[in-house]
């Protein structure tokens, strides 16, 4: 038994069914929160506000966002599943904690940007998510390299999202909060 193994004298991770349930639950919760704040026809006020923002030319079409986020979050949830299946060491637990925190921050970002219309704080939150996801990949690398690899596309996307959110904030400032 490794000296860093905690709470599991046999050094096993969670059973597959439990790890899958947690990963699926995290993924579903993130999807529900994201859907609640989406700028689509079912949320006309959010959609109208988002469409009126001055966005840079490198802003992807809405369909790209709708396609990319589920893939990236699913990849990261698969990594979370792999981490949960590893023996519970301090490093494994830190990586799981980073995965859970990042999943919560993604949902929180949609609330901050789309629902509360706080473009400045959302740009800072995007940077925090990019840093957190990079930390997740680095920490998971020491535990399970395939799990770490699942976080890399999300880290790259979040770096791009930080640039985009910062540009939207700079172009729209505080007026974005009240525009409808």
pLDDT in tens, the chain (180 residues): 343 444 444 568 999 999 999 999 999 998 898 888 888 888 899 999 999 999 999 999 988 988 999 999 999 999 999 999 999 999 999 999 999 999 999 988 999 999 999 999 999 999 999 999 999 999 999 999 999 999 999 999 999 999 999 999 999 986 666 656
Can you give the pLDDT at residue 3?
A: 38
Can you give the pLDDT at residue 141?
A: 98
The model's pTM is 0.87
- On whether residue 106 sits in a domain, the answer given is yes
Can you give the pLDDT at residue 180?
A: 61
- On whether residue 112 sits in a domain, the answer given is yes
Distances (CA, A) of 177 to 15, 101, 110, 122: 46, 26, 14, 11
How far apart, in whole angstroms, are the C-alpha atoms of residue 166 and residue 113?
A: 12
- On whether residue 9 sits in a domain, the answer given is no
How far apart, in whole angstroms, are the C-alpha atoms of residue 172 and residue 168?
A: 6
- On whether residue 59 sits in a domain, the answer given is no
- Residue 170's contacts (CB-CB under 8 Å, 6 or more residues apart) are none
- On whether residue 121 sits in a domain, the answer given is yes
What total of structural domains would you count in the chain?
1
- On whether residue 5 sits in a domain, the answer given is no
> Under the phi-then-psi rule, with left for phi > 0, alpha for psi from -120 to 50, and beta for the rest, what region is 88?
beta
- On whether residue 159 sits in a domain, the answer given is yes
- On whether residue 84 sits in a domain, the answer given is yes
Range of 76's domain?
16-49+64-178
How far apart, in whole angstroms, are the C-alpha atoms of residue 146 and residue 48?
A: 41
């Amino acid at each position: 038994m490794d000296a860093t193994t905690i709470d599991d004298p046999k050094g096993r991770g969670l059973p597959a069914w439990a790890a899958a349930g947690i990963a699926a639950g995290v993924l579903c919760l993130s999807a529900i929160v994201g859907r609640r704040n989406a700028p689509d026809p079912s949320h006309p006020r959010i959609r109208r506000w988002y469409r009126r923002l001055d966005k840079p030319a490198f802003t992807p079409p809405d369909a790209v966002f709708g396609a990319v986020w589920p893939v990236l979050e699913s990849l990261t949830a698969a990594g979370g599943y792999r981490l949960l299946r590893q023996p519970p060491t301090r490093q494994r637990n830190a990586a799981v904690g980073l995965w859970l925190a990042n999943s919560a921050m993604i949902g929180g970002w949609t609330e901050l940007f789309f629902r509360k219309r706080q473009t400045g704080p959302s740009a800072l939150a995007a940077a925090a998510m990019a840093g957190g996801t990079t930390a997740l990949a680095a920490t998971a690398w020491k535990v399970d390299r395939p799990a770490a690899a699942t976080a890399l596309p999300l880290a790259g996307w979040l770096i791009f999202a930080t640039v985009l959110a910062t540009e939207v904030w700079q172009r729209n400032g505080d007026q974005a909060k009240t525009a409808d």
